[in-house]
Amino acid sequence: MTSMTTNHVIITLQDIRREYNLGVECIHALDGVTLELKDNEYVAIMGHSGSGKSTLMNVLGCLDRATGGSYVLDGQDTTEMSDAALARVRNERIGFVFQSFELLGQLSACRNVEMPLIYAAEGWLSRRRLATEALDRVGLKGRIHHKPNQLSGGEKQRVAIARALICKPSILLADEPTGNLDTKTSHEIMALFSRLHEEGQTIIMVTHEEDIACHADRIIRMQDGKVISDLPTAEDPASRYRKSTQDEEAQA
């Protein structure tokens, strides 16, 4: 893994709260989350179901607004941004990778990758060139005309990653990116993420799998809407135990 960098702070969360009212009950999905994330960090966010990790991902991706607190993205306070401004942030500065790929079945891999550029009003020739380059970057140059039903699960996720990268986002947000993949393909996708990180891409990944989180340089663990630990992967007790177990299995 690449060591943690000392680059500038790209995300600052201060006392972020997200509350939902269910009848007379108030659910504290996020309960005072304070974090700093730096440019070119590779971070895994972990926690059991209901821990708040997905809600945090939605807030970081400007897909949801916090109920309280401050979220500054690369020097800009998103708290008071209009919906249109947040949409521009999502399209231009954040790339999304989902567990279920979210590809349009009737479109080729190339056309799927082009989609964010259509919203950015990019010209057709430029869209095609950039989409082809993005697919080549993830090892799919020979699959540009294939539709999703002609691709394996790993290839579909590579298309989704290429689409996430097409606008050269500051941050790549990955929500359970290996959740629908077998073990071998999961390792291939994680190797791709590691290479992108080495090339300078900031990556924030939500996962519940310890072996997947171990690919990151920093692990943030959540419980009941709070951050309960935030450590470099090498210092995270669960990750150290996981690595020790893997080493013992390899030697057996």
Give the β-pairing of 202-206 and 171-175: parallel
pLDDT at 1 > cutoff 50:
no
Residue 221, classified by CB atoms within 10 Å of its CB into exposed (0-12), middle (13-18) or buried (19+), is buried
Residue 247 pLDDT: 55
Domains plus CATH for the chain? 41-62+82-251 (3.40.50.300)
Is-contact 200 168, C-beta < 8 A? no
Of 62-66, 80-84, 119-123, the poorest mean pLDDT is in 119-123
Sheet harboring 76-77: ordered strands across? 25-38, 9-22, 68-73, 76-77
Per-residue model confidence as pLDDT tens digits over 95-152? 999 999 999 999 999 999 999 888 766 678 888 999 999 999 999 989 999 999 999 9
Alpha helices in 80-204 (DSSP H): 83-93, 109-119, 124-137, 153-165, 183-198
| 58 φ, ψ (degrees, to nearest 5) | -65, -40
CA distance 241 to 252: 17
Model pTM score: 0.89
